Amino acid sequence: MSESRENPFWSYEDLGLFLGGLIPCGFLALGLTSLIHFRSRGLQAIAFQFLFYLLALGVLWVLIRRYGRPMWQSLGYHFHFRGAWGSVIVGPALAIALSMLGTALHTPDTSNIPKLITDRTSLIAVLTFAVLIGPIFEELVFRGFLFPLLARSLGTAAGIVVTAAPFAALHYFTYGWTWQTLVLIFLAGIFFGIARARTGSTTAAAMIHIGYNGTFFGAYLLQHWNTMSP
């Protein structure tokens, strides 16, 4: 068993401090991005999210470093796990499977992402953030920080399920609040959690998450690249 997965040295008090720290991070990120002129609303939204994630990462770093422990290794970001190539394959397969389930559930298209994409520059920015930066940060927080704490208190299975709930709720601002979308993202979170639990590595969950998002955005890119202005 991985120490960072089963026996985290941080506590629920640290979780409360982290959540409390997100509020000033949000205000600071909003204030800084409002001072800059962006060529599109999409670029401004991505800049805000990137800065907010960066500031939140700083809060998490301070909390972990108080214990004198390395941050990334403590949160399970390492490549010492079996099935790395399998993680690469699982992401796209999961995207296809949940896309088929979404069709069967008649999931409405409520995504706000197309509204952020007005030209190729904003498309590249959104693509980079959604496929790479977002998954790495989200897995760091949910499967690296939150899951080990919940697994220690509730057990692995319950920890996976409970962690997937706020993960799904986080995507309300991106996809809107429809029950079908909530179910699909919740199921994706379950799979990311299973990968974390089985491998003991947050990297495995991040790789699957990257492949999952990359499949959807790759399809979008193929459909819309030629229609985008430079």
Residues 184 and 101: beta-carbon distance below 8 Å:
yes
Q: One-letter amino acid identity for 223?
A: Q
Residue 9 φ/ψ, nearest 5 degrees: -85, -10
- 27: number of Cβ within 10 Å: 12
pLDDT in tens, 150-170: 999 999 999 999 999 999 998
Measured CA angle at 46 (ends 40, 48), to 5 deg: 105
pLDDT in tens, 31-51: 999 999 888 888 898 999 999
Question: Above 60 in pLDDT, residue 4?
Answer: no
pTM confidence score: 0.90
pLDDT in tens, 71-121: 999 999 988 888 777 888 999 999 999 999 999 999 888 877 777 887 778
Taking the C-alpha atoms of residue 222 and residue 217, their distance in angstroms, rounded to an integer, is 9
